[in-house]
Chain A
Amino acid sequence: MAQPTEQVFSASGIPIKDVYVPADTAGIDYNQDIGLPGKPPFTRGVYPTMYRGQAWTIRRLSGFNTPEESNKLFREELDMGQTGFSVAPDMSSNIGMDYDDPRVVADVGHSGVPLASIEDMRVLFDGLPIEKASTYLAEKHGVLTSMYFAMARERGLDVSKLRGTTANCMLAWTVLNLANQIPPEAYRRYAVDFVEWCADHAPGWYPASFNSYNARDCGLTAWEELGILFSCPIDYIEEERRRRRVPLDRFIRRFAFNMAAHSDLFEEVAKLRAARRMWTRIVRDRYGIKDPRCSEFRVHLQSSGSTHTTQEPLNNLIRIAYQVLAGVLGGGQSIHANGYDEGVCLPTDQSMLLSIRTEQILALETGVTNTIDPLGGSWYVERLTTELEERGWEYLKKIEDMGGLARAIHSGWVHNEYKNASIRRAEEITSGKLPIVGVNKFRLEEEPYEVPVFRPDPKSSQAQIDKLKRLKATRDNARVAQALKKLEEVTRKGENVMPATVEAVAAYATLGEVMKVQLDVYGEWPFPIFG
């Protein structure tokens, strides 16, 4: 018998025993709760062969300065062996404010690529094989994707054959304090419209990638991440159940997920295993959907930016590698390894190459892909999986008891969770309870080295403004006005907005103009944090 030592906790605060023994898994039934990979409840992986059949997709979220420069970056990423494009829109596009709005000028081309019209979309994907690759758009609820689809149609491509993913996640957008936001219930309306439209017109597209990555980065625990993550698809499903436009099995067949790969290796592996089991239980047991494809929890992972430090940035390289390892041992379908320098700047070319290499070395040189779910059957990991699942259900129930995620956001509760978690984390860093090497442990008086930094080009903003002005002067403005009027009509009538949205953006309506229709109909929702 191991001698008792001081109580330790997982990163999220679960008490961890000295050693785990078979009795710790006594209540876990192999067939019901674990089973084989590729078989419900998918605890061990969504596919029967997992990485032995196909390695995970290496996918980096990219975008900076201008569509022209981001296009060059995508071409380079393709050459390095990346198999999909991931678009991070800039601040102006995240908000949905056109570049010439004086409130947003300083932010154009920052934190991503500026995209205001189909013209920008054309430039971004110029010469890139979008019919072969898959594209991820980290955008709100389908307007930028409408531009992408319209651009593909111009190329003569069949939208129903395109492969890709749109974030389209109400939860993801709660974390940023952005101007011009519509209320969460309105957001959900557009999001569900987009899912419905894709079910009919873009069956190869993942119409939503439910994203708890940012919520986790705001300081939520691993089980809170699970609970809040699933509250989002449930809110969409409940909305569709009220609408009854698309059969549920088609509505959710291509739901995808996006989670954090955080620092506590075993807890993260257990979290991903728990997530797969929970999704099966939601789809199969709660909604009675028989098609097992609907229960597959396909997840994209990203190393947790909040764990990266500005001090001694090269240390982040090590953190990222461990986090990616957790993601692989946890069976993720695609992974973004952050740049080590992201606590300092947008990643440099060198740091981006290194992120891709981090994943390739893990895939090809370490042997971790040799067998599926290598930690399955560990008394510790199985116990932790069950523990996280149980706690995840509790947190989910809390949100559902408030009336679901949209209401929980509207009331300000979700934001207060982030706020309290951020303050708690800061206090734990101050007290040393949460050790961070080089920050509150072994901190050096002077920074020992400098790393090369990337600086956004301050001229990109003006270049984009000029392009937009030219566009507005040369397009058929009567056609744009008519398309926007039509969009407003269908929005007010409660019809699916997607056909009118695709039509409007194909007529060169800008993102800001489409968003203005949304604001006109629904009004602006004030960010519920007041200090």
Chain B
Amino acid sequence: MADAKKRLRILMAKPGQEGHWTGLVVVSKALRDAGYEIVYGGNMTPQTIAAAAVQEDADAVGLSILSANYLQLIPEVVAELRQAGKADVKVLLGGIILRQDFQKLKDMGVAGIYPSGTPLPEIVQSVRDKVGSPA
């Protein structure tokens, strides 16, 4: 069984305390339907996101932020992931994200950015491209 390929696993979380959750649930469902294994974390701190990414052996972390503090929270999540030895995990970000910040976020290590209104099939296709096909 050594080489049995595991299904790709994505941890879905909202860093910080902001309460909008339906976007995260909707995208979680779309990715699960596409064949990914989804670990739904809900609201988490950057530390607990990194710890869960380790524990769940996540291949990607899908984050949702709608409260304009992503430039503060994303570097914290990325740093915690690195510190936890998960620098290779793909960081994906959705929510209310300004286009003028895309490059900054990419430089911070975000692999995929999906501003509110991105069609779900487009998100799923992009995740396939960036994280890999689910199984």
**Residues in A lying within 8 Å of B, measured CB to CB:** 91-92, 94-95, 97, 103-104, 106-107, 110-111, 175-179, 218-219, 309-311, 343-346, 418-419, 422-423, 426, 429-430, 439-440, 447, 450, 453, 455-456, 458, 527, 529-531
Across the interface, which residues of A come within 8 angstroms of B84, CB to CB?
A: none
Across the interface, which residues of B come within 8 angstroms of A440, CB to CB?
A: 119
Give the CA-CA distance A456 to B69 in the complex, in Å: 8
B67/A176 in contact, CB under 8 A: no
Give the CA-CA distance A406 to B31 in the complex, in Å: 32
A531/B12 in contact, CB under 8 A: yes
Contacts A179-B17, A531-B28; is A343 near B116 (CB within 8 Å)? Answer: yes
A179/B21 in contact, CB under 8 A: no
Across the interface, which residues of A come within 8 angstroms of B43, CB to CB?
A: 177, 179
Give the CA-CA distance A218 to B12 in the complex, in Å: 19
Tell me the nearest residue of chain B to A64, going by C-beta.
Answer: B68
Partner pick for A310 among B26, B39, B76, B96, CB 8 A cutoff? B96
A103/B45 in contact, CB under 8 A: yes
What is the distance, in angstroms, from A430's C-beta to the closest C-beta of chain B?
A: 5
Across the interface, which residues of B come within 8 angstroms of A95, CB to CB?
A: 17
A91/B26 in contact, CB under 8 A: no
A-B contact pairs, 15 of them (CB 8 A): A103-B17, A107-B18, A107-B67, A107-B69, A111-B67, A176-B20, A177-B21, A310-B116, A426-B26, A429-B119, A430-B119, A453-B100, A455-B68, A458-B72, A531-B28
**Residues in B lying within 8 Å of A, measured CB to CB:** 12, 14-22, 25-26, 28-30, 38-40, 42-43, 45, 67-69, 72-73, 76, 96, 98-100, 115-117, 119-121
Across the interface, which residues of B come within 8 angstroms of A458, CB to CB?
A: 69, 72
What is the distance, in angstroms, from B122's C-beta to the closest C-beta of chain A?
A: 10
B98/A344 in contact, CB under 8 A: yes
B26/A345 in contact, CB under 8 A: no
What is the distance, in angstroms, from B25's C-beta to the closest C-beta of chain A?
A: 5
Across the interface, which residues of B come within 8 angstroms of A106, CB to CB?
A: 15-17, 69, 72-73, 76
Across the interface, which residues of B come within 8 angstroms of A419, CB to CB?
A: 22, 25
A-B contact count (CB 8 A): 106
Across the interface, which residues of A come within 8 angstroms of B98, CB to CB?
A: 344-345, 453
Give the CA-CA distance A120 to B20 in the complex, in Å: 25
Tell me the nearest residue of chain B to A342, going by C-beta.
Answer: B96
B29/A110 in contact, CB under 8 A: no
B19/A177 in contact, CB under 8 A: yes
The DSSP consensus for interface residues of chain A is loop
What is the distance, in angstroms, from B126's C-beta to the closest C-beta of chain A?
A: 15
What is the distance, in angstroms, from A462's C-beta to the closest C-beta of chain B?
A: 12
B22/A219 in contact, CB under 8 A: yes
What is the distance, in angstroms, from A12's C-beta to the closest C-beta of chain B?
A: 18
Give the CA-CA distance A276 to B54 in the complex, in Å: 54
Give the CA-CA distance A311 to B119 in the complex, in Å: 12
Across the interface, which residues of A come within 8 angstroms of B38, CB to CB?
A: 531
What is the distance, in angstroms, from B53's C-beta to the closest C-beta of chain A?
A: 16
Tell me the nearest residue of chain B to A415, going by C-beta.
Answer: B21
Contacts A422-B25, A531-B28; is A311 near B117 (CB within 8 Å)? Answer: yes
Partner pick for B68 among A94, A177, A179, A345, CB 8 A cutoff? A345
Across the interface, which residues of A come within 8 angstroms of B39, CB to CB?
A: 531
Partner pick for B40 among A422, A453, A530, CB 8 A cutoff? A530
Give the CA-CA distance A485 to B117 in the complex, in Å: 49
What is the distance, in angstroms, from B64's C-beta to the closest C-beta of chain A?
A: 11
Across the interface, which residues of B come within 8 angstroms of A527, CB to CB?
A: 21, 42
Give the CA-CA distance A343 to B28 in the complex, in Å: 21
What is the distance, in angstroms, from B7's C-beta to the closest C-beta of chain A?
A: 16
What is the distance, in angstroms, from A357's C-beta to the closest C-beta of chain B?
A: 25
B25/A91 in contact, CB under 8 A: no
Contacts A344-B98, A422-B22; is A531 near B68 (CB within 8 Å)? Answer: no
Across the interface, which residues of A come within 8 angstroms of B16, CB to CB?
A: 91, 104, 106-107
B96/A344 in contact, CB under 8 A: yes
List the 10 closest A-B pairs by CB distance, nearest first.
A531-B40, A176-B19, A422-B22, A177-B21, A310-B116, A426-B26, A110-B67, A310-B117, A107-B17, A177-B19
Give the CA-CA distance A498 to B99 in the complex, in Å: 47
Across the interface, which residues of B come within 8 angstroms of A177, CB to CB?
A: 14, 19-21, 42-43
What is the distance, in angstroms, from B115's C-beta to the closest C-beta of chain A?
A: 5
Across the interface, which residues of B come within 8 angstroms of A453, CB to CB?
A: 98, 100
Give the CA-CA distance A294 to B121 in the complex, in Å: 50
A95-B17, A178-B17, A343-B117 are known; give 15 further A-B pairs, CB within 8 A: A91-B19, A103-B17, A106-B16, A106-B76, A107-B17, A177-B21, A177-B43, A311-B117, A344-B96, A344-B98, A423-B25, A440-B119, A527-B42, A529-B42, A530-B40
Give the CA-CA distance A183 to B19 in the complex, in Å: 17
